[in-house]
Amino acid sequence: MAATFTPAPRPLSARERLLAGYRNMALWTLQGWISMFFIAAGYAKLSEPMDNLVALMSWPAMVSPAFVRGLGIAEIVLALGMLAPLVSWTFGRPLVVVSAAGLVGLEAIMLVVHILGGNAGLAIVNLILLGLTIPVLLGRRA
């Protein structure tokens, strides 16, 4: 077999390094906001009485309390996955991508649930969350 020649990648210019740094800071900021939101939302689903959750959002009345509590655990786990690169970039980067994909799926499903339930305010919140999470998914997968 003949060896193939692969040229070395060209070094980044100062402007490209600066833009990459800004992009990284923006993604970390989004990851932090998303994590804070979903840790709080998950904690509320785990700790609040079902009556309070039904008063805040109508959908918990249509499912079992165990489902609501399980969703709270899933939200916290996915939120912590968004912060995994703080521990190790090698293992954390794939976890960020998986967590972001899971949160995008969850947010899309909840957007439909809130629209069908007539909760425009909660649907808008899910649109905003999608607007924050999709850039993280696309930015960290590359």
**What is the mean pLDDT of each successive set of 10 residues along the chain, which is 142 residues long?**
74 87 94 97 96 92 95 97 87 91 97 93 96 96 78
42 domain residue, yes or no = yes
What's this model's pTM, rounded to 2 decimal places?
A: 0.85
CA–CA gap between residue 41 and residue 63 (Å, rounded)? 17
45 domain residue, yes or no = yes
3 domain residue, yes or no = no
125 domain residue, yes or no = yes
9 domain residue, yes or no = no
72 domain residue, yes or no = yes
Please tell me the number of Cα atoms within 13 Å of 3 on its side-chain side: 3
1 domain residue, yes or no = no
How many structural domains compose the chain?
Answer: 1
Reading the block at residue 109, the tokens are: 């499903």
CA–CA gap between residue 77 and residue 133 (Å, rounded)? 15
Count of CB atoms within 10 A of residue 43's CB? 14
Nearest Cα neighbor of 73 from 41, 25, 117, 108 is 41
